[in-house]
Homo-oligomer: A and B are copies of this chain.
């Protein structure tokens, strides 16, 4: 249909229909449930931060949305005469900058290590394109220590990540892990000191392929052909178990840093494998973010949807925030939730078992007997069965069609003149006598199920 400008969508600001929102809500619910089972506290931060805070991550400053009161007097720092970053507010573009500020602000009221999850919308003024939004949900989970944070937390966060991903309605997900010490140690142990340069080159592997990466390594990092080959071989190592270690050593990797990295990565693999089998692998090509992260780093890919990029990433960072008394190291992971939900919906990876929460439509025989239908609905609801009462006392066939059009699976007919109530499954047409205080819908119909798509 032709949409008028007035009612058309805004590019980059996705919005779901009610049935689609059930899928998004399910993803949010799973994230929250698993996080809480692992003792993570949910928090929300305000949507705005002073612009000067947001600009600290220099490279994405152009993505920030700045706020201005429409009838602002002189006082809000964002008038027509330029922007004052200390007094201007911007919408947060991730949940990490707000977390750092929250931790510093509330440090005296928080118990460390802080285990927190946070599911909120963030905004980026990027040019919208396939899978890139201007407003989207991020779902983050971090453990933040005060001054110290034990290394095994890296594996612990990966376990939570694996549990969340394995419970979402998704094809096979694989979490790819690497650790900074292993990469840096390896490059150093084969004689390459410019380890960040090597990482930067290897990061381009998926985009430009091995031959052009080889050229980069030769030109920009001063690698010899043999060293470049070793780097490419190193980045090709991908194993489900600890056997990556032997292959690193065969390529000439060794020394304290490499062995430390091997021990770290092995611990992560073993702990995640014990908790959620078949999800984690060591992938020594993972380079992105290794200059930011200081320990283990994770990316996650969806089988058949590798073009989506990493759907859940994270790792260890040694300085989320600091003041003159404390530093705050952390381990975190982040899911680009809207992006993932958008793919689930567009690829039909999951569908709700019905488009509405309603399990039962209680029919109304005539307006005089509406209180009787209300009573049936109340009894069903008191037993946790979602229902609505028909809006009009239309002919029963019309009420059944009404339920059908909404996707409500059952219609309840209150008995009149002493007759028993009956309930009809409008999918099968089956109808039988029932009592509102005792009738049970089939387990799969009690609440909306989010099912794998076809």
Contact = CB atoms under 8 A, between A and B. Distances in A.
Interface in A36-73: 36-48, 50-51, 53, 61-72
Given A40-B357, A69-B125, A105-B9, A150 B17 contact: no
Interface stretch (A234-242, A296-304, A380-388): A380-388
A431 interface: no
Contacts of A108: 1
Given A21-B41, A152-B370, A381-B37, A68 B70 contact: no
A392 B81 CA distance: 54
A15 B115 contact: no
A36 B271 contact: no
19 contacts: A7-B101, A7-B104, A15-B102, A17-B43, A21-B44, A22-B42, A38-B387, A41-B356, A51-B70, A61-B70, A64-B70, A66-B68, A80-B80, A111-B406, A113-B391, A115-B388, A271-B374, A274-B374, A275-B378
A81 B375 CA distance: 61
A432 interface: no
A346 to B, nearest CB: 15
Interface of A: 1, 3-4, 6-10, 13-19, 21-22, 24-25, 36-48, 50-51, 53, 61-72, 78, 80-81, 83, 89-91, 101-102, 104-106, 108-111, 113, 115-116, 121, 123, 125, 135, 145, 149-150, 152-153, 156, 271, 274-275, 323, 355-358, 367, 370-371, 374-375, 378, 381, 384-389, 391-392, 405-408
A106 B15 CA distance: 10
Contacts of A71: 61-62
Q: Most chain-B CB neighbours within 10 Å: which of A80, A91, A323, A357?
A: A357
